[in-house]
Structure 1
Amino acid sequence: MKALHTLSQSTLGLIVCIAVGALCGVFAEPAGAAAYFVGQMYLAVVNMAAIPLLVVATFFGLRQVIALPRPRTRIGMMLLVAFGLVVLGSVAGTLIGVMAGPGQDLSATARAQLGRLVLQSASSAEDVQVALFDHGAAAAAGASFVGVGDIFPDNFYRVLAQGHSLGIFTATILFGLAFAALSREQTGTLSSVFEGVYRALETIIARANLLLPVLAFGVAAHLVANTEAATLHAMSSFLVCFGLASCALGGLALVTIAVRAGQPFMQVLSQLKAPLLVGLTSGSATAPIPHTIEALSQRLGFSRGVVELVVPFGSVFVRAGAALYYALAAVFVANLYNRPLGAGEILIVCAASVIAALVSAGQGGVASVGYMGIVLSMLNLPVEAAGVLFVTLDLICEGPRNALSLLSACMVIALVSAGLPSERHAAVEATGGVARLDTTLRFTFTRGQLALATGCLMTVASLIVLLGIGVGAR
């Protein structure tokens, strides 16, 4: 157990696990398959705790934020900044894709490999109509991503059981606002229950994160054993662009957090090391929640109320990494089919990537790849290309995607919360005068000094008495 805890917190240890797992994928595939199975059990446990944690944390965080100064302004700014970061990810992905041109200069061998994969998928699949909204019977023959009941549910338990994050969030916000409006005397018992459930779910996820080394080992083995090297080579331009763009935007977020926290960049990176490692290697957006809350509130000093509301909310809805991913993928497919993008189509890619990122809230893994069809369908590009080309790469892209979304949520907190410098200065200004008035002066004497002081006092007293006698005798 101690070894797993050390490895799960060590960058070098996780890199070694990935390298050894890749070797096992080549020479010892059964061992890698067993580790991958254990890793999937870990993800199942984390996902089991994810939705209840989202609900309870939203109740608890919303109550604390409403108790802070200017809660409406704070919450409004929180939503505005979160949406702005998703838009920034989409715009950055589109512009980087247009300038770098991934998929344009592929060799004939690479194009033949990708074409073979797409043709195999098209020959074995039926035509699928993709609709963003469910229009009832009209969508019966196709696939729809969002229904009205998924956003405004008539049955909270239905969306909770089906895992529809948009409907869960709508019901949670309505109940949370009503809960926060009640007095603390009316909700004291329920608050204690929420607090206990919240901490229990955090503990479950924190304990499950001990299996991160096993997951990293298993995913590396599974990826090497089941992915053709020719496919990775053909998609390398997309992978390089996505990796560099994620690093650039992640670095910008870290710089912003460091400035707002008033701490050096490397110190902030060190404090966020644990949640970033969890986000990069776990493939889950909710697994880093306990580490992130601890790092931002206890180590970097941001308002705990804001942290406990934004981190669970941001892990699902602040999907800047997904917006970047969808935009770059759409540009890559357009270049693959020799489809130049004009100014109007670039705007369509930006807007559609934002919509796809928000609609896919709560979805992870291969399920999130299907939402790429929203962007491709608006450009009249083959939707099946997304399914076959990007499913094989999703295990590679999911880590950077989640890490960028995590840093975006942390950036929202840094911009909305008062932060460490102002809160500490305010505390010093508020208590500094009182502290100076209440300062206690302590005198310490040795036995010799005490005897000398006593002798001096007796002498002074004797002189005063003699002086009084002399004055009276006159």
Structure 2
Amino acid sequence: MRSAEELLASGRPRRRARWYTSIGNQVLISIVLGIAVGALFPAFSAQLGVVGDTFLDLIKIGVAPLVFLTVVMGIAAAGDLKKASRTGLIALIYFEVVSTVALLLGLLAGNVSGVGIGTGALSGAHPTGGAPTGGSDDEGFLATVVPDNFVGAFSSGHLLQVVVIAVLLGIGLLTLAPAVQARFTAGLETASEGFFALINVIMRLAPIGTFGAIAYSVGTNGPAMLLALAELVAQYWIVVVLFIVVVLGGICLAAGINVFRLLRAVRTELTLVLGTASSEAGLPGLLEKLPRMGLSRQTVGLVMPTGYAFNLDGTSIYLALCTLFLANAYGIPMGFEQQLGLLVIMLLTSKGAATVSGGTFVVFASTVTATGYLPVEGVAILFGVYRVMSMATATCNTFGNVVATAVISRWNGDLDRARLRAVLADPSLLDQDDDAPKADPAANVPTTPANSRSAR
């Protein structure tokens, strides 16, 4: 296999792949077809939910093991506990600050627009069933932080439990003798490559899964439900876009990164997340792509999976805007003190959101229950348009974690800035890497499959 430099030296132009062979383009086509089929054949589309659910279940097979492996190897690659702890502390502070900004933006947008005011039809409704319910925010979150056994953390689907186990094991590896640690991490790396291969096979089914999910969403919601809550949906999407462009864009600008070019570089993963309304769908691809973009492999391994549990910007905006919508729709006044208390509650509940589709809505139900004065039955009203809103939620959550990983890698001083600038200017370089020896961006030294283990 020849390197990219050898291919250029040969003088033969690289054959450009046909546009329809790209997974990202196939997913975009699936979204358009899903909308059309859902609108034209709602009865048929209502039976396609199993297609999208099956695809997400397949993705979930590899997500927990990949998160576990990348976190453990990320800590082990740090070389010492002090460096790993520093990266983790910076990440947690960043997550808390940015999540709080997202909550404040959602509350500000809801107050300025008066979302839900004058919605007489909703205030007089008495829905029954149809929506999940949640328990106490503190009890529900704390009870799921530490697993009761190793295997249960993977089988339960609680990503935060997997992160906890991975962090503990990674710290434990740093206490072993270098020779033992090297053998252990080599085995983990081999297992990681195997799971990435599994995900690559599953991702070939992404267009089919996306088509089923979109068609089911449009076919079951129907135009009447979408029009009834169109104002809320439109405002939410606008706020999410503003957050990405203004807040995340400002953070990227401070770190010397162009947010629009970064969006373009990860557009394939974001398109998949948008179509499936699940941030889990994009995680495997991002864990593989971000190090190839010049981000430190250990920072990616530590920050990206942890962010999926603690840095849920889209979820924060959703909680703030939708709780204000319910309060206004039912004519419940919320002054500064009530909204400040609501902010504190959401700071807790937003950390318990699952990365799978539907997790945010369960947390929203928990938030409404925890307030003690918002009508829990009103949660069911928003269930009809949740799918439309969750597409923006998952996309914002995912891209927020991409930005966090890039910025923290920059702050740590282990970002290959030249490589990142080159990829952001020409994302096709990532495709060329498939035909060239891989490089470890942390070490900035080219490696091949034969010596990659010794290089770590």
Q: Normalized against structure 1, the TM-score is what? A: 0.76
Instruction: Answer with 31-40 or 151-160: which moved more.
Output: 31-40
Per the alignment, do residues 131 and 234 of structure 1 end up closer, same or farther by CA in structure 2, a change over 3 Å counting?
Answer: same
Deviation (angstroms), 1:421: 3.5
Report the equivalent of 2:406. Answer: 414
| Ranges in structure 2 where 5+ consecutive residues have no aligned partner | 1-16, 422-442, 445-456
Letter matched to residue 317 of structure 1? F
2:104 equivalent to 1:119: no
Contact 2:210 2:272 (C-alpha < 8 Å) held by counterparts: no
Contact 2:206 2:272 (C-alpha < 8 Å) held by counterparts: yes
Q: What whole-Å deviation, never above 9, does each CA across 1:116-160 have from its counterpart, x for those lacking one?
A: 7x52316x999x8832344xxxxxxxxxx2454x32334233333
Q: Normalized against structure 2, the TM-score is what? A: 0.78
Per the alignment, do residues 307 and 262 of structure 1 end up closer, same or farther by CA in structure 2, a change over 3 Å counting?
Answer: same
2:190 equivalent to 1:196: yes
User: What SS class does the counterpart of residue 121 from structure 1 fall into?
Assistant: coil
Letter matched to residue 417 of structure 2? P
Distance in 2, Cα, partners of 1:228 & 1:409 = 32
Distance in 2, Cα, partners of 1:221 & 1:199 = 34
Distance in 2, Cα, partners of 1:29 & 1:229 = 10
Contact 2:137 2:348 (C-alpha < 8 Å) held by counterparts: no
Deviation (angstroms), 1:69: 8.3
Instruction: Answer with 287-296 or 76-85: which moved more.
Output: 287-296
Letter matched to residue 8 of structure 1? I
Report the equivalent of 1:206. Answer: 200
Per the alignment, do residues 257 and 183 of structure 1 end up closer, same or farther by CA in structure 2, a change over 3 Å counting?
Answer: farther
Question: Superposition RMSD on alpha carbons, in Å?
Answer: 3.2
Contact 2:323 2:368 (C-alpha < 8 Å) held by counterparts: yes
Per the alignment, do residues 424 and 345 of structure 1 end up closer, same or farther by CA in structure 2, a change over 3 Å counting?
Answer: closer
2:320 equivalent to 1:327: yes
Deviation (angstroms), 1:43: 0.7
Per the alignment, do residues 56 and 369 of structure 1 end up closer, same or farther by CA in structure 2, a change over 3 Å counting?
Answer: same
Contact 1:365 1:394 (C-alpha < 8 Å) held by counterparts: no
Distance in 2, Cα, partners of 1:424 & 1:205 = 25
Distance in 1, Cα, partners of 2:81 & 2:151 = 31
Q: What whole-Å deviation, never above 9, does each CA across 1:418-460 have from its counterpart, x for those lacking one?
A: 33338999xxxx99xxxxxxxxxxxxxxxxxxxxxxxxxxxxx
Contact 2:75 2:84 (C-alpha < 8 Å) held by counterparts: no
Report the equivalent of 1:64. Answer: 77
Deviation (angstroms), 1:44: 0.7
The one of 288, 312, 316 equivalent to 2:309 is 316
Report the equivalent of 1:8. Answer: 23
Give the alignment of 1:131-146 within 5 angstroms: 131-134=136-139, 145-146=140-141
The one of 24, 31, 37 equivalent to 2:37 is 24
The one of 206, 223, 227 equivalent to 2:217 is 223
Report the equivalent of 1:392. Answer: 384
User: What SS class does the counterpart of residue 204 from structure 1 fall into?
Assistant: helix
Report the equivalent of 1:444. Answer: none
2:378 equivalent to 1:373: no
Instruction: Answer with 270-279 or 204-213: which moved more.
Output: 204-213
Q: Which has the larger radius of gyration?
A: 1
Deviation (angstroms), 1:258: 4.8
Distance in 1, Cα, partners of 2:259 & 2:232 = 29
Instruction: Answer with 222-231 or 252-261: which moved more.
Output: 252-261
How many residues align? The count is 402
Tell which has more relative contact order, 1 or 2 (C-alpha 8 A, sep 6+): 2
| Ranges in structure 1 where 5+ consecutive residues have no aligned partner | 135-144, 432-474
Distance in 1, Cα, partners of 2:400 & 2:141 = 25
Per the alignment, do residues 424 and 86 of structure 1 end up closer, same or farther by CA in structure 2, a change over 3 Å counting?
Answer: closer
The one of 344, 349, 360 equivalent to 1:356 is 349
The one of 95, 110, 114 equivalent to 2:108 is 95
Deviation (angstroms), 1:355: 1.2
Q: Percent identity?
A: 20
Report the equivalent of 1:452. Answer: none
Contact 1:369 1:390 (C-alpha < 8 Å) held by counterparts: no
Contact 1:7 1:213 (C-alpha < 8 Å) held by counterparts: no
Deviation (angstroms), 1:245: 1.1
Per the alignment, do residues 255 and 57 of structure 1 end up closer, same or farther by CA in structure 2, a change over 3 Å counting?
Answer: same
Contact 1:253 1:411 (C-alpha < 8 Å) held by counterparts: no
Deviation (angstroms), 1:294: 4.3
Distance in 1, Cα, partners of 2:42 & 2:134 = 38
User: What SS class does the counterpart of residue 116 from structure 2 fall into?
Assistant: coil
User: What SS class does the counterpart of residue 151 from structure 1 fall into?
Assistant: coil
2:336 equivalent to 1:340: no
